[in-house]
Structure formats: C-alpha cells, structure tokens
Structure 1
Amino acid sequence: MIDRSLNQEQAAEILCPVWPEATVTDVRSRTGGQLSSVYEVRCAEPAESVIVKVYADQWRWKQAKEVYVYRLLRAHGVGSIPEILRVEPDTGPLGCAFTVMTMLPGQPLSHIVGDLDEGQVAHVYRQLGATLAGIHCIGQPAYGYLVTGILDPEPDNTAYMTRQFAKKLAEFAELGGDSALHAAVNAHVANRTDMFRRCEAPVLCHNDFHEGNILVEQSAGKWTVTGFIDVENAVAADPLLDLAKTDYYAMHGDPVKRAAFVQGYGSLPDDWSERSAPYRLYHALELWDWFASIGETAPLPGIADDIRALI
C-alpha cells in the first residue's frame, strides 16, 4: 500500500465538486493493495459515504483502467458496482491521483463464509456464478490485458495463452523457481495447446473474482451478494480463465461451492472442466511469481505443491 494519509479537510475539498453541501464526519482507512490506498469517507446526510482511492504516480494507468472497466460494466448493466463520481488523474488537491466512487453496502464474503452452513454457501455461490456470467456477456475484439483498451492484443487464445505461460515461466526462473518444475510445466502446457484453441471468442474477464472481492449482506436470514469490486486485473480472454481463477482462489475444489457456482453461471461447454485445468495451472504459477516478486516466501512451497498436483 502506498504511504498516503487523508484527513477530513482534504476529503471535504475533494468531495465539494460532487456534493457541495456535504459535511465530512469521519475518514477511515480501508484495506488497500500494493498499488493504492483506500479510504472510506463518511458524510452527514443527505450526502452518502464514499470511497476515495489514492494512487502513487507510477500507477496512474491503473486508475485509468479501473475507471474504464467500471464504466464498461455499468454501460452493460452488469451487477452492482461502484459508480465513479470524480476522477483526478493529475496531482489535484491531494498532490497525487485519486478516484472518488460510491461505496457498496455489505462486507467481504471472505469475512463470513466460514460461518455459513452448506445451504447458505450454495445460495451465495449461485449468485456468484450468475454475476460472473453477466460479466462474460461483454465481448471483446481480441485477447490481452485491458487498460483503456487491449494492450498488445492477440488474435486467438492459443497465441495469448502461449505468450502468457512463457512470460510467467520466465519470471518463475528469474525468481529462483525449481528448474525441474519449470521444465515439467513447460512440457505439460506444450502438450495441451489444443485446449486453448477451443475458445471461440474473448470476453471481459474480472480475473480476480474471489471471496475477498465479493460484498454480501444479510437480509431476512439470507446472505445476498450486493456487488463486487477490484477490477484492476481485468483481461480480455476465455471466460474459462476467469472460472478457473475463482475455482483456484475461492472454491478450492469444494463440491458444494462448485456445483452451486456452475448452476448459477448457467450454460457451460461440456468440456469446461477439462479446458479449465491448464488455466488453474496458470493461476497457480502466476501466484507463485507474485509472492516471490514481493519477497513473501512462506506461501511458495504450498503453491509449488499445487503446481505439481496440477500437472
């Protein structure tokens, strides 16, 4: 997380163009990421509480991407997502880039899922499946990483995934990954490129659709999904790439979660599970690279074991 602080006077200044009569009552730091700091700005009525996301200079392009993807989703009427209220890509009153957006109700699913019974888990995961299916209705013109368009687009999925695996394997080697495991992954993927060819067209993929990014609240004894956040990893890709990441990060092969998710998602190709396998491997490799790159070594042996199991 970047080292920034936001006080009530600054919060009132940046909210003035949005709600001139708003009175800021409190500013609270929220969980952020490596690239930004996140604040909840609480206001007296009639104004609403908002989220302010502050970016370091080198990550302004991430800000532009987040705004682009949220607006794309809103234009297609997908899910409950934050509304962008103000975008300041330059220094502005905070001396850095920031975005103001509405705050969705609820709390992260990750905070409460451990306390739910199987019926409640299934109820929530059916909603997750339906939400992700809605995102995947937004077609894309090519395969690749999204910013405010597709960066280095590839015309087909085989070219895109071959490039991505090559990139992640190179990072794995540079970061000190086991050479035998590197060779095994490389050979495994080379023998399964036919799986990538089966994707007919790219779609918008959230690419981080896990329990920490899903918001829920309880109503009439049932937990309801109120929205999703964090679109900074979005890509244009095979929708099964997205399903595979949710499976690896959130479902972990749990039969209740998986069955409910698939039911909520709706129509899937008959070979979806087979085709998803190389993508789960890709996400495990990518996660190993990420932790190694930031010096978090504790998770690496467990992820390496996952990689071995997946091949």
Structure 2
Amino acid sequence: MTAELLFTSKTIGLPTKAQMNELLAVHGLGTLLSFNETKEGAMKQTLSIMSTKGEWIVKGNPIYEGQLEEEKYVIDCLAGKTSLQVPTPYIVHHDPAILGFAYSIMPKMKGIHLHDVGEKLIVADHSAIARSLAGVLKEMHEWKSLSYGQLHPLNHTIEPFHSSYKDWLFNRIVHWFHDAKKYSTLTEGDERWLYGELKRANDVFSKMNDPCFIMGDVKPGNFLIDQLEGQWAISGLFDFTSSYFADPLVDLTKMTLFYQRQDLVDIANQFIAEYTTGQPVIEVQLRLRIHLLHQLVLDWGYFHAMGQPIHTSFEKWVRTIFIHLQLE
C-alpha cells in the first residue's frame, strides 16, 4: 500500500563481513572488498557494497509484505516501457537464512546526488538538471492506468481509491491538517482558508481522468546526476516504495519546494514550466497548489513536532510560498 505514509523503525542493520561474502557468493558477484550503510537510504534499508566484480546496493528488512517484489515489478516495467536509467537487474532473494530477512540486490548506478555538489553548481547547471528531471518525469508518466489507486504489492493489480481520487486526496490533506494540531497552533482562519483552497480545486479534480504512474517521492536523495555530453543531467532514478497511480503533478512538489528553500525560485519556476508546457495554465496552478498544500501540511506538522516552529500563521506561510512560485 505504497500511497500510504510509512513510519517505521525497521532498518537493515550492519551485517558481518562473513554474511556479505555469503550474499555475494549466492549471486556470483565476486568477493567482498568493502561495504557500508548508504548516506541516502530509504529508511536505512540499504547498504552499498564493493566487490571484485563491481558495486551493488542491497535493500533489506522489508517494511511491508511484498515491498521488494513490488519495487522489482515497477523497475522491470519502467525498464521495459521507457529509456529511463533504473537499477536493473533487480534481484529479490526471499530466503532469510543469510541476513534474517528477505532482501534485494541491484547494481549501483553511475552518478552523484544533487546536494553533494549543489554549492559548486552555477545557475546554468541547476537549470540543466531541472530540465533533465522534467523530461525524465514526462517519460515516466507515460505509464498509464485505467484507475487512480495503489499497486497491490503481490498481484500487481491496481486497487482503486475508495470513492474517488479527489476524495482520497482532499480527505488526506484534512486528516494531516488536524494531526498537525497536536504539535502546533492552527487557527479557525487557517482551517477556513484550507477548505477554501479545496473548494476552489473541487471541479478540476472531479473531472480528472488520466491516472499516471507516479514515483511519489521525487527528491535529491532518490536520483543521481552526472555530466552527460558536457552537461549535467539525470543519470539514475531509484526507490519506488512510495509509488502509485495519480495526478502526475504530485511528482513536482518535493523538488519545487527543494528549489524554493535553496533560494533557487527561478529554477523551481523553470522546472514547473518545463514540465507543464502546453497545459492549461489555470488548471495546472489549481492542481499544483493542492499538491503543494498536501506536502506543506505534512511539513508544517513535521517541523513543529521536531522543535522547528514556523513563526507565522499556516495560511501566511503557505501563501508566501505560493507567491514565490507565481501560483498566487
């Protein structure tokens, strides 16, 4: 059920050298040279391994039944349907004898993370990466479904959202707004404004009928960049644990906010414009505002819960971001 927000303390831990050598031997991947936890691992589920035959990523201790099988299915589909660089072959090993749980192993892809070189990049570099990412998402979103919903992790059918995608999304936003009240002050004015936003977008979301595969967690930690033909571009895409079938604009939200928070608002706007070229402007703005609102409700609750309060009202905070992104 990967459209759900996952909170877990499960980690892969740090196995012994003997376990790593046994794992490599099972798959004919050489002898261990080194291994360590990855800096950018999904919920600390991943290890980076270097052997005499190459470099690999191991992902283990599944969060839910079928997590690894579901990710393999998605990666295999994307490898077959698109030209995107994804970690294939993605091998799932079900026997818990080596590590104590099922795991997957995949080749380590070429490239680095955006924030590893972010301070060294000039505006033109950021612009090239944003354009490349927009192109990658456009191609990925060509994978369509007949219904909005979640991919069943074991039988790989789409389980439609109850009632409608609009209701599922709007109810989710309201749920996390009320949850955030546990950690922060949210006024009646904030709530009226939020409901006003949902009302404004009601018709647009009610009429939507083009569910696409979305990654659900497009952020710097889940893709790699490299210089291809002298220009920075996306060189790899991974971690599909949060994927489902929905409005493709969902996949713009985290990177848009990343750029906005890095004082790269022009890049954020370029990224949005590159992806949405040729689409109705007003409709795009309404949809994107709702998806950003969804993410910002979650962020507001998280920041306050982690002792990082935002010293303004929720409405003002969100509207200021909308203004920066030319969505107000």
Normalised by the shorter chain, which TM-score bucket? Answer: 0.7 to 0.9
2:289 is aligned to 277
Map of 1:103 onto structure 2: 108
Alignment partners' CA distance in 2, 1:299 and 1:136: 36
How much does 1:227 deviate? 1.1
The 3 A distance-change label for structure 1 pair 40 and 173 is same
How many angstroms does 1:238 deviate by? 0.8
Structure 2 SS opposite 1:130: helix
Cα deviation digits, residues 108-131 of structure 1 (max 9, x gap): 112212321122221121111100
Cα deviations by residue, 1:246-299 (Å, 9 ceiling, x for unpaired): 32234557223432563366543333233311211111112334556xx52326
- Distance in 1, Cα, partners of 2:213 & 2:35: 34
Paired position in structure 2 for 1:127:
132
Is 1:153–2:161 an aligned residue pair?
A: yes
Q: Structure 1 residues 298-307 or 105-114, which shifts more?
A: 298-307
How much identity, in percent, do the aligned residues show?
Answer: 18
Q: CA RMSD in A?
A: 3.0
Are residues 255 and 160 of structure 1, via their aligned partners in 2, closer, same or farther at CA, if it must alter by over 3 Å?
A: same
* 1:53 match: secondary structure: strand
How far did residue 151 of structure 1 move?
Answer: 4.3
CA shift, 1:205, in A, is: 0.9
- Normalising by structure 1, what TM-score? 0.84
Residue of structure 1 in register with 2:232 after alignment: 223
1:247 matched to 2:256: yes
Paired AA for residue 279 in structure 1: H
Tell me whether 141-150 or 298-307 shows the greater mean CA deviation: 298-307
Aligned equivalents of 1:179, 1:151: Cα separation in 2: 36
Q: 2:308 aligns to what?
A: 298
Aligned-pair CA distance for 1:303: 9.8
Unaligned runs of 5+ in 2: 1-8, 323-327
Q: Distance in 2 between matches of 1:48 and 1:19?
A: 11
My pick for the range that moved more, 144-153 or 72-81, is: 144-153
Instruction: Tell me by how many angstroms 1:179 deviates.
Output: 4.1
8 A contact 1:35–1:55 mirrored in 2: no
2:212 match:
203
Query: Whole-Å Cα distance in 2 between the matches of residues 244 and 216 of structure 1?
Result: 19
**Out of 162, 177, 186, which is 1:169 matched to?**
177
Q: Give unmatched runs, 5+ long, in structure 1.
A: none
Identify which range, 93-102 or 299-308, moves more after superposition. Answer: 299-308
Say whether residues 1:238 and 2:247 are aligned partners.
yes
Q: Paired residue for 2:67?
A: 62
Between the aligned partners of 2:312 and 2:251, the Cα distance in structure 1 is 22
Match of 1:23 in 2: 31
Q: Structure 2 length as normaliser, TM-score?
A: 0.80
> Which structure features the higher share of strand residues?
1
How far did 1:243 drift?
Answer: 2.1
Cα shift at 1:18: 2.4
Distance 1:283 1:63, change over 3 A: same
